[in-house]
Every structure is written in C-alpha cells, then in structure tokens.
Structure 1
Amino acid sequence: MKTSDFYYDLPKELIAQDPLEDRSSSRLLHLSMQDGSFEHRHFTDILDYLHKGDCLVINDTKVIPARLYGHKEETGAVIEILLLKRRENDIWECLVKPGKKARPGAKITFGDGILKGEIIDVVDEGNRLIQFHYDGIFEEILDQLGEMPLPPYITHKLKDKNRYQTVYAKNDGSAAAPTAGLHFTRELLKQVEDMGVKIAHVTLHVGLGTFRPVKVDDVEQHHMHSEFYMVEEDQAKLINDTKKNGGRVISVGTTSCRTLESATDENGILQAGSGWTEIFIYPGYHFKMIDGLITNFHLPESTLLMLVSALAGKEYIMAAYEEAVKERYRFFSFGDAMLIL
C-alpha cells in the first residue's frame, strides 16, 4: 500500500483559517459505510442519525497554550518552544526553533524571567528535554505566556483561545485539539442526551505527531508517534454495556477512536486503564469497538486519512473527499465535519 494512494488535490482556499461564529453551524457530509452514498447536511442534523441506546464517545483532553517565545540568556536570541510531552519534575519534551542554537546547557528566559528553562538533553527526532523553573503554578504561568499551538496550515491569529478548545475540555495535556469535537455546543450535547443517547468520555492527549507527514512510500513502514490515553472504569462499563445491549458506539474524532481501539481487547471488551498508544490504523485493520465516526476532513497522505479509509473503505472515502472539494466544504481543523456511519 503506497502513501501516494491517499493523495487528493485540495485547493488552498478550502483550508479553513478561522472557526465559524457558531460552532454547530458547520456543514456535515454523511457517508454511508454500507453503500458509499453521501448526503449533504448541517452539523445539527447529526441528531437524525443517532438512535436511543447509542453511545457517543468524546475526548475530554484540554489543549494547553503550548507555544512559548523566549530569549537565550547568553545572546538574547529569540527561541520558540513547543511543549510536546510532560515528563517528570517539570521536565518537558519540546520542539525548539532554531534547533541549532539549542544545545544542552543553554538557558532560556520567558516573560521577563517569570519562567526559566534549561536544555538538559537532545532526544528523538531532535526534540529537546527542558527543565523549567518558576514560582507558583505552571499552568497559570503558561496561560499568561503561552499561545495556542495552531496547526502549521492555519496562518491566521486566533482571536479567542477557547475556540481551539471543545466545550467539554477538562484534562490539560494536548498540543492540538481533538477537532471533531469543536462542532458540539452544550445545547446540542443536551439534545443528544435527551434522545436517550449516552455520552461517554475518554482522554487522549493529542501530540503534534498528528500533523507529521508520512515520509515513506510504503505505508506499513511509517512509525506512529505515541500519545497518552486514559479510560476510567465507569466509562468503560458504559461503553461495554452499550455494545452488550445492541447499541452503537460512535466515536467523536480519530483521537477517541484510537483510544477505544487501543484499549479494547481481542474479545471486543474495552479495558479501563491508562498508557501510551502508538496504534496505526490503515486499510486492512479490523475495528474492535467503534461502529461509526464523526470526524473532520484530513490532510492528503496523512495517517488520519488512512484511518478513515480503514473504516469506510478507501474508494468510498476518496469519492467522498472528491465530492467535498467539488461542493467546497471547509477542510481541516476549523473546517466542516463528516459522519461515517
């Protein structure tokens, strides 16, 4: 299977640069897994496809304002840092630009010294381990100094930090938003629950590897980045009971999907717990838990496009994407949605 099999032509102007005024006013393309047919709807029409007894699974991770700008203490040179993974004792794995100037031992000052960092090591793919020093609460300092780490294809400045956050975001730790969830408002989620559809939550802290291009020709040679996930006991029971009672498990986003598929055993039972997942889902994968997926439109040749192709079939997906381009849907993080069911 070649990476180029997942290429499609996307006009640049279809990449959404700003979130819509009203979250749930985005468009929705419904793709039937049964016959590949599609319907053009609005996101609030999601209610028409859900049944009493189904379960929507959301990812309650919260994006941290992980982009920081500081100065090297010795030279005053500007350094940009992206927090990727929290290690122990205020040590973070970070992406640093420019990397050449960021050697172990270098000290960086942020925000007139209220936060300081020292590079202590170089790890995988040139990332740096940085030990931070500060007084007070790290999250509060980050809130004050940090910027939302928008994906590289978004060039506009985000006016309101909360628009790159789901309304149910709770657990700090993501470097990117689980964007399928951005379409939901609290009112729409209440309507879903009032229909008798259960809402379960899992946590997967999204890493920037989600935007990393596949650089190998042979899909199977690609190595996935690892991300931390958590599934609580009561939520696992809720999801397992849905399956047992004949309901459908519909994942809100590829991150919820990857969590469920990582934590479900060979007998189709979701196990509570936490850990790191490097699951790579591409055509040929046998899904153990999910019956449907709400998702955005993904980058050409990306692992996420491979994931949705594994669920619905590559031919159906590529035809649906061609239709979405023709109908001028908005693409990527702030774009429109797709329901695969």
Structure 2
Amino acid sequence: MKRILSYSFTMIALVALTASCSNTSYKKTKSGLLYKIMPAAGKDSLVKPNQWLKLNFVQKLNDSLLQTSYGKTPVYVKIPATTPEDYSPMEIFSLMKNGDSAVAVMMIDSLVSKGLMQQMPPFMKKGDKINWGFKVVGVFENDSLYMADQKMEYEKDTPRREKAEAEEMAKMKQQMMERRNAEEMELEKSGEAAKGVQAMEDYLKAKNIAATKVGKGTYVVIKQQGTGTQAADGKFVTVQYSGRKLSNDSTFDSGTFTRKLGQGELISGMEEGISALKEGGKGTLYVPGFRAYGANPQPGSPFKPFEPLIFDVELKSVSDTMAASSDVRPQQPQR
C-alpha cells in the first residue's frame, strides 16, 4: 500500500509539472526538444555512457494521460556513448542522475515537419503536445545488474499484469459474444437461419440419417454417449475431431483441441454438438452454414459463405480446469 501511495503522489506531481510549466522555463536540446530537469538533493554523479537508467514515466497528449509506468514495471534505458539529436527524450537522459525528475515536450508540428510522424493519428491534431514526465529511480553500472533488477521488477509486477490481461481477455470475449449474438439475431430475422435448418433437414432425410437437433440448428448423431461428465458451458473439453464438407464429403481439417465451452472460442455448431455428449462419447455433428463460418469465412479458407460442415468427434475429457492436452483448436484452414 505504501508503494502504491508513493507512486500515486509522484505521478500526480509529474502530471502537475507537465501541465503547469510554461515554455519560458524550459531549455532546448540541439534538435529543439523542450525540457526541464528537477535535480534531486543527493550528490550522485550524472549518469555515464553504457550505464542503465531505471525510470518511471508519465506520457500525456496535452492534458490527457496516454500511458504510465507507475504501478507497473519501470522502463530501463541504456545511455549511449554519443547523445542522439533525434527530438526524443533520449537527448536528456545523459543529463540526469539518480533521483532526478524531468519533463520533456514534443510538439506534434515538429514531429511532422521533421518527418518523425509520417501519419498523424486520428486523436491528434496540429498544435498538440506530447508531454513526458520522468523520475529516475535507479542507475546500474552494467548489463548484468540491469537484467537482475528488471527480472525482479517483472516478477513483482506479475500479479497486476496477469489480472489486467485476464480482464482484457474477458472484455474481448464479451464483445465477441455480443457480436455473435447480434449476428445470430440478424440471421434469424433475415430467414437465413431457417433456410440453413431446412437444407440440413432435407440432406439428412435424403441420406436416411436419424439425427437429433440441438441448440439453434446443429444436428447430432450420437454413436457412443459416453459415461463420464456431461459437457456444458464452463467446462474444459478435450476433443479429437475430423472436419468434412457436406457438399463433397472431403476432409478439410483434423486434430485435437482443448477449450472452455461457452466462451465463443469455437464455431457455434461445434459447441452445440459437443454439449450433447458426455466424456468418452463419440458422434457426428451436422452443422448448417450459419452455425459454422457464416457469411464471411476467413479469407484464404476453403469455405464458401454459409457452407454446411460435418464433424466426427470424440470427447476425450471433460473437466473444470484446463486438461493436459494438445491445445489446438480447429482453425479455418488455409488453401
């Protein structure tokens, strides 16, 4: 908690500095970069070439925060033998020592005129400024010391990073499921779903195949029910599969995958069909095109829009955690 509060106060101070300092209080590097260094009270020497600076930073576009290292992993910068004149903060790092703080300002107009910004991002405009705030929190004499410290900081930051990654993954999955649900509603509204179901029923009748409809349109022939745990949303399933085109019965893919059901990671028809089995079960899934790769198959795949597919599957395992298995899911194969 003490570390978090310390980071917060330092970050607030740097943000305030980048917002309040007027251009007249700044110096300029040879390339024209505006900067100001706030020296620490200590008597440390300026950093030397080939030493490493350990820095925390704040980056803002005008007054809007873009990114920061505070509360995360610090950044490390090796001091070059010759100071570059590249209109970047690298120009001022050799002027700093342990404990120093600094502010640097990059003008968007200057970045464009110097050819350092080929295309201005849509959230930037002429006259904008990129404001940097830096705090030197360590200096290392050589590569081995820097690498040891970086490893320590990386490990320290692992819980936060893993939490952030999990939250981002959950957000992406939620957005994907929302898109899928919206697409399914549109298919039902347009009549494409009913068309796909009818075409599959006609095919099964013509082939004299007794299949059971599950979900919103997948048909399943259970060859062996299985005696283990029932596959269901939230369960990790390991599946051995072989995929065929319904039109010519040609195999387009096969393999084994382990995935969590109900996360939108598999085509809808695969999830529906697998959910009809128990561990140890075997079956054949007949998937209408709207429950397979839909209207827009991945470019380069062998599928036509709304192409129906067949999967022969064997449910190897069902568990509450990721099974020790080949982690390969059925992809839209390349030609």
Q: Give the TM-score range, shorter chain.
A: under 0.3
Query: RCO (CA 8 Å, sep 6+): is it higher in 1 or 2?
Result: 1
TM-score by length of 2: 0.19
Q: Which has the larger radius of gyration?
A: 2
